[in-house]
A and B are shown apart, each in its own frame.
Chain A
Amino acid sequence: MKITTDNIDDFATGATVLGTGGGGDPYIGKLMAQQAIEEHGPVDLIDPRDVPDDALVIPSAMLGAPTVMVEKMPKGTEALSAFEALETHLGQEAYATMSIEAGGLNSTVPIAVAAALGLPLVDADGMGRAFPEVQMVTLTMGGVSATPMSIADEKGNSLLVNTVSNEYAEAFARVTSIEMGGACMIGTYALSGAEVREHAILDSMSLAHDIGEAIRTAKHHSRDPVESVLDLTDGYELFAGKITDVERRTEGGFAVGEATLDGIDDCEGRTFTLDFQNENLVARDSERGVVASTPDLITVLDAETGDPVTTERLAYGHRVRVIGMPCSPKWRTDEGLGLVGPGYFDYSIDYEPIETLQQPKHD
């Protein structure tokens, strides 16, 4: 399909749902994509199955502090030099670009990069959702290296970084972004078409589009937008409630907190808590205990409009419906859970798939 200025809003809405409360403000990415498409024309979203085995795909992303990214937006051509540097280093021309996370800001930034470079965008990503750190991608488990990584700023500075692990890539990129004024563009996880098919999460961009489209059309036809999202994602409605308390603090760069909900409608009489660190990570029901946890997706939707609500916007009195969606099976391996399971974020719970948690429990 083509990504145009007419359907970019749907991608952004769906990306916010897959952003599970975090992932940065997709508004900036959406506007970047809109301008780039106006200037360079629509972007081809291509099926990962159609990418030649040995073709070079370079995912792109914006990295930095949210406060900076909303004040100092990119020049728009940073990726040009970053990609050129990588192409020279790897001795191969890029065939396409890709999103590294299907949720939040970085789902739509690569659309702008694709338009500016005249490249197609592969319908896949490295998370199927949003996570805060560079190494938190299924590609890490597949042995794909985040480096050589190119890091570029708007002034024309660029670095080519080689590291021994993807965790080091995260560390160096973060430090460099500060030197570059708190925000930069990166080209990372250069991979072949074969590796995309084997290690990435496929069809996630079109899923984002379909989710956004479903919410928009459901609202238009007065249907239940939440049901439409659940149909598309094999998800579950976890709770319907009113937010009664939100606690927040900043820890190690993360916006950490906990929201408490009182049940409404069918959930009346129960309470519910939501733990978040940028993204929503653990959901608990007063009667049933943990009902979903990372890496499964937990998203808060406005009870009336179905619009996704980010963790920054959670506030007392908001009527919401919380949904849970199964993550990619790739995340459910020991290695995957080591990267992004509850333990990595310091929750002392064992991960159980949302489908299991949704089964009635027997003694």
Chain B
Amino acid sequence: MTDYRIGIDVGGTNTDAVVMDGDDNLLAKTKTPTTEDITSGILSALDVVLDDSGVSEDELDYVMLGTTHATNAITERRGLNEVGVIRIGAPATQSIRPLLEWPDDLAAAIGNNVAILDGGHEFDGRLLNDLDEEQVRAQIREFADVDAFAVTSVFSPVRDDHETRVAELIREEVGDDVPISVSNEIGSVGLLERENATALNAALTSVASEAANAFVEAMDERGIDANLYFGQNDGTLMSVDYAIRYPIFTVASGPSNSVRGAAYLSAVENGIIVDVGGTTTDVGAVTEGFPRESSVAVEIGEVKTNFRMPDIIAIGIGGGSIVSTDDGVTVGPQSVGYKLTEEAKCFGGETLTATDLEVAAGTIDIGSETPDVDAEIVEAAREYVRERVEREVDRMKTSAEPVPVVIVGGGSILVPDDIAGASEVHKPDHYEVANAVGVAIAQVSGEVDRIYSLDEMDREEAIQHAKDEATDNALAAGADADSVDIVDVEEVPLSYLPGNAVRIKVKAAGALDH
């Protein structure tokens, strides 16, 4: 059984790729510059690792891609769909219209088509208002020219029938080709944040489908007939079809891949991961092998959202960070970024970077020159980096107990081995391509996040119901039925509410179906 697979992570600076075999042994790895068209960078990374590993195109079973394409499309307002944003909940919720707090240019980029229509449910599943199907149809016809729909109904995490019905009505009115995003599949309780995430998802479907098609074509071009997957931000995979429907879940998949890869390479299942890149260092937490989720609303493109996102803190320190000695020694947040090989002193440039210090100290040997830097400055800069990293590692912890810390990424050399609060510090082999490893070893998952009334069913039933639904979702995403496990169950009683309302979140994950 070979089961060769390739993991590719397209970052802002580098495109990394690895080849692994069925036993998760790493056979080849490469780091190549990310290209403007992305595809050519992917292909050149692919060629290098296939060549080095001796694995041929037709031996590949899986190709997994991690990409920041969706995030960039939002921040750059590029290629976004015009979206019809339909909220079901009138007469409630009219005091805050959809997209109210969005940046004007982003709201304009998706067309500012919003409507609040009759319907929705109460927290306990009672009807808030009847759905007025004629009113919905009329609104859909008014939005006939949009590229995609985003549908949100009040308390759809409790009852989704109004969202489901509106999606059917959209199908009947405008056909099967227009993408529809429904909020209960995307976010949790908190209408505005869930609606925002749903609208962003709808805005991204065309960009996602272009990226997916480019990926598929690139594989065709190399004669690769493998199963293709995208990395998503909980550290698991989704099929190409799923990625086109739920592109929002690829946002922040890069740091998640690094967390998974670092956990795998170091065999640390619970701890803190520090990923040192070219311009920033991401600090995240791994819990039972998966990235810990953020518990607060996360902003994407200045828009508050509440879909699951990894709990990550980014600090402005990386290999390309500019070292200043004006007022004590500081490192970053300014960076030479992708121009490291032009501007850094070790490459003959004029700017003193964090990389130059390590070259001067003799810990790494890259570039054409060895900059002349005082040992004291090197020491002070390392101390500066250590303090910043220690502080963020500490913030990522949930208690004062020392925990294992894993350092990965191209700039790992910048971070010292003795970190306060760490029970042990790992810099595993292949640390520089941890993100590509993370996507290559990923499983597929399914989750559910719902409110149950324990007056109607007992607690065991409710949890079982959630587990079954999460398992079904994992199977739908491509998991092998025999390998699906429940990896997380979270239960939150809701204060102030009668009916024993409880919010249950379950995640199931399993190996790829062969």
* Residues of the B chain whose Cβ atoms lie less than 8 Å from the Cβ of A65: 123, 494-497
| A72 and B155 form a contact (CB under 8 A) | yes
- CB-based contact A67/B91 at 8 Å: no
Cβ–Cβ contact A74 & B92, under 8 A: yes
Q: Is B129 positioned at the interface, with any CB of A under 8 Å from its CB?
A: yes
Are A35 and B95 closer than 8 Å at their CB atoms? yes
Say whether B497 contacts A70, CB under 8 Å: no
**Given A35-B95, A35-B100, A181-B128, A250-B493 contact (CB < 8 Å):** yes
Closest chain B residue to A244, Cβ basis? B400
Partner of A317, one of B95, B97, B397: B397
Min distance, Cβ B399 to any Cβ of chain A, angstroms: 6
User: Quick one: given A35-B95, A70-B191, are A255 and B495 in contact (CB under 8 Å)?
Assistant: yes
Q: Taking the complex as formed, is A254 at the interface, i.e. its CB lies under 8 A from any CB of chain B?
A: yes
Asked if A34 and B100 make an inter-chain contact with CB atoms under 8 angstroms apart, the answer reads yes
Interface residues of A in 301-342 (CB under 8 A from B): 313, 315-319
**Using an 8 Å CB-CB cutoff, how does the interface string of B106-137 with A read, 1 for contact, 0 for none?**
00000000000000101110101100000000
Are A154 and B395 interface neighbours, CB within 8 A?
no
Contacts of B498 in A (CB 8 A): 178
The CA-CA distance from A313 to B395 in the complex, in Å, is 13
B189 beta carbon closer than 8 Å to chain A = yes
Interface check A287, CB cutoff 8 A: no
Is there a chain A Cβ closer than 8 Å to B1's Cβ? no
A32, A70, A318: most-surrounded residue (chain B CB, <10 A):
A70
Chain B minimum-CB-distance residue to A76: B95
Chain A nearest CB, measured from B387 CB (Å):
13
Alpha-carbon separation in the docked complex, A121 to B126 (Å): 36
The answer on a CB contact under 8 Å between A73 and B92 is yes
The yes or no answer to A283 lying at the interface (CB within 8 A) is: no
Q: Is the CB of A67 within 8 A of B100?
A: no
Q: Are B95 and A71 in contact, with the CB atoms below 8 A? A: no
Minimum CB distance partner of B157 in chain A: A71
Residues in A with CB closer than 8 Å to B122 are: 72, 181-182
Please determine whether B494 and A75 come into contact, CB atoms closer than 8 angstroms.
no
Q: A36-B95, A75-B91 are known contacts. Are A245 and B394 too (CB-CB below 8 A)?
A: no
A65 to B493, CA, bound (A): 13
Q: Is A155 an interface residue when CB atoms closer than 8 A count as contact?
A: yes
The B463-514 residues at the A interface (CB cut-off 8 A) are: 493-498, 501
Q: How far is the CA of A326 from the CA of B123 in the complex (A)?
A: 39
Taking the closest CB of chain A, its distance from the CB of B193, in whole angstroms, is 8
Residues of A contacting B126 in the complex (Cβ-Cβ under 8 angstroms): 181
Which residues from A are CB-within-8-Å of B90? 75
Does B235 touch A at the CB level, under 8 Å?
no
Is B411 part of the contact surface with A, judged by Cβ < 8 Å?
A: no
Whether A67 contacts B95 in the complex (CB less than 8 A), given A72-B89, A317-B396, comes out as: no
Measured between alpha carbons, how far is A25 from B302 in the docked complex, in Å?
A: 18
Say if the beta carbon of A52 comes within 8 Å of chain B.
Answer: no
Which of A74, A182, A316: most chain B Cβ within 10 A? A182
Which A285-313 residues have a C-beta within 8 angstroms of B?
313
Q: Say yes or no for B192: interface residue by CB 8 A criterion.
A: yes
A317 touches B394 (CB 8 A): yes
| B457 contacts the other chain (CB 8 A) | no
A242 contacts partner chain B, Cβ-Cβ < 8 Å: yes
Nearest chain B CB to A341 CB, angstrom units: 24
Q: Is there contact, CB below 8 Å, between A316 and B398?
A: yes
CA distance A74 to B94 in the complex (A): 7
Q: Are B495 and A71 in contact (CB under 8 A)?
A: no
A317 contact set on B, CB distance < 8 A: 394-397
User: Quick one: closest B residue to A243, CB to CB?
Assistant: B395
Smallest CB–CB gap between B163 and chain A, Å? 14
Q: How far is the CA of A317 from the CA of B399 in the complex (A)?
A: 8
| A245 proximity list for chain B (CB < 8 A) | 399-400
Do residues A318 and B93 form an inter-chain contact, with CB atoms below 8 A? Answer: no
Known: A66-B496, A67-B494, A182-B123. A31 touches B92 (CB 8 A): no
Residue A64, interface by CB 8 Å: yes
Within 8 A of B (CB), among A265-286: none
Chain A residue with the shortest CB-CB distance to B158 = A71
Give the residue name and chain of the B residue nearest to A36 (CB). Answer: B95
The answer to whether the Cβ of A90 comes within 8 Å of any Cβ in the partner chain is no
Chain A residues with CB below 8 A from B95, complex form = 32, 35-36, 73-76, 112
A71 and B189 form a contact (CB under 8 A): yes
Residues of A130-169 contacting chain B, CB below 8 A: 154-156
CB-CB under 8 A for A28 and B96, given A70-B191, A181-B123, A181-B126: yes
Say whether B394 contacts A72, CB under 8 Å: no
- Are B96 and A67 closer than 8 Å at their CB atoms? no
Which of B90, B391, B395, B495 is the most central at the interface, judged by chain A CB atoms within 10 Å of its CB? B495
* B418 on the A face (CB < 8 A): no
A199–B475 Cα distance when bound, in Å, is 63
Give B49 Cβ to nearest chain A Cβ, in Å: 39
Nearest CB of chain B from residue A134's CB, rounded to whole Å: 14
A215 to chain B, nearest CB (A): 19
Check A316–B497 contact: CB distance below 8 A: no
**B296 lies within 8 A of chain A by Cβ:** yes
| A349 close to chain B: CB less than 8 A | no
Among B100, B122, B391, the most chain A Cβ lie within 10 Å of the Cβ of B122
Determine whether B190 belongs to the interface, using a CB cutoff of 8 Å to chain A: yes
Contact of A316 among B97, B154, B399, B493 (CB under 8 A): B399
Known: A31-B96, A318-B395. A71 touches B123 (CB 8 A): yes
Q: How far is the CA of A66 from the CA of B496 in the complex (A)?
A: 8
Least CB separation from B398: chain A residue: A316
Contact check, B497 vs A71: say whether CB atoms are below 8 A apart: no
Taking the closest CB of chain A, its distance from the CB of B301, in whole angstroms, is 18
Find residues 429-458 in chain B having any chain A CB closer than 8 Å to their own CB. none
Could you tell me the distance in whole angstroms from the C-beta of A296 to the nearest C-beta in chain B?
25
Complexed CA–CA distance, A255 and B154 (Å): 25
Tell yes or no: B101 within 8 A of A by CB: yes
Chain B residues with Cβ below 8 Å from A75 are 90-95
CB nearest neighbor in A for B297:
A27
By a CB distance below 8 angstroms, the chain A residues around B94 are: 74-76, 154
Which residues of A, 46-100, contact B by the 8 Å Cβ criterion?
Answer: 64-68, 70-76
Instruction: Name the distance in Å between B347's Cβ and chain A's nearest Cβ.
Output: 34
CA A34 – CA B497 in complex, angstroms?
29
Smallest Cβ-Cβ distance to A253: which chain B residue = B496
Q: Is the CB of A31 within 8 A of B497?
A: no
* A284 nearest CB across to chain B (Å): 19
Chain A proximity mask over B363-407: 1 for CB below 8 Å, otherwise 0:
000000000000000000000000000010011111110000000
User: Other than the known A34-B100, A70-B192, what 11 A-B pairs have Cβ atoms closer than 8 Å?
Assistant: A31-B192, A35-B100, A65-B495, A70-B191, A71-B154, A72-B93, A72-B120, A73-B192, A154-B92, A253-B496, A316-B399
Q: Can you report 5 A-B residue pairs in the complex whose CB atoms are below 8 A from each other?
A: A65-B494, A67-B189, A75-B92, A75-B94, A181-B128
